[in-house]
Amino acid sequence: MAKKLLSLKNSKQIPAPQIETTRVVIVGTGFVGSTSAFAIMMSGIASEIVLVDVNKDKCLGEAWDLEHGISFVPQTKIWAGDYSDCKDADVVVITAGLGQKVGQTRLELASANAKIIKDIIEKIKRYTDKAVILIVTNPLDVMTYVALKKSGLPDYQVFGTGTTLDSSRFRFLLAQEFGVAPDSMGAYLIGEHGDSEVPVYSHVNLMGENIANLPEYNKKAAEQAYLKTKTAAYDIICKKGATYYAIALAVERVVRAILYDENHIFPVSSLLTGQYGIKDVCLSLPAVVGRTGIKKVMEIKLSPDELDKLRKSAKIVRETIENVK
């Protein structure tokens, strides 16, 4: 006897549960923006991903390419939208701007990208003042300051990825020297996301033990790890034209901390209000990141040399800010 196929036509419909949606809008679908969308889609942390770009065809093409792989990853709605989609956004990630060219410093990008950021913030503000805004565009610290001041939003709601990626690079290179996994290293860079970033050697540790106390410690190798970290972006750009995989993973990780209210500590760029005697400039310091953005900026103990370098870094960033106000 042939089995009857299950029919859904007359089956009892069970009301779908009300599930909270989480929306991430990514402004800019260049290398960094599209790869960040891919990383967020792969992790399944957001139920909706919206791509926005001045190049509509590029934006649509990226959205199509991503959504064609949805059957392989956690279910996510992805589409090419516009700024009106920011209305229901939990996080808006801004990656739009001119890219860094071979031999060009991040600070040299400032004037051109400041105009782009101001225009984007103005358009976002038409539709929301509730979303957390995460800046990725370089020069990161200057653009974070420009975005914050243009938005008029609270300090905690607008911040940049800062030295989150730089710190990951630093941990990776140090871990190679010690023969351990990178996530076993406790190491951060603070200050500018750029040439004046500061390695906090006084807090670099393995399982709580400062590396200077370990028999495997090699001061020259540790300093070399920092120097390689500082030139990493330039080296990659020279080889392949742009960096985007690692920063996309950093974006996903910070966005995850926001959406899940993790209270995770990252060295992100935010407005300093007196920490270490520094005011009115955006720099990276360890900060607690959660659902509302930055909940607390940590003021860890620094050595005199680290403090001096941090203040010099602040001066460099502030001078660039003055030129783009």
d(CA 314, CA 45) in angstroms, rounded, equals 34
Residues known to be catalytic: 193
Is residue 3 classed as helix, strand or coil in its secondary structure?
Answer: coil
d(CA 88, CA 194) in angstroms, rounded, equals 33
d(CA 244, CA 31) in angstroms, rounded, equals 6
The b-or-e profile of 68-81 (16+ CB within 10 A means b, else e) is: eeeeeeeebebebb
Vertex 82 angle, CA 77 and 84, to 5°: 95
Give the tokens for residue 88. Answer: 């229901």
Distance of CA 179 to the CA centre of its chain: 28
Give the tokens for residue 202. Answer: 């006084």
Compute and round to an integer the Cα radius of gyration of the chain.
21
Q: Are strands 77-80 and 132-135 parallel, antiparallel or unpaired?
A: unpaired
d(CA 144, CA 134) in angstroms, rounded, equals 8
258: which DSSP letter? H
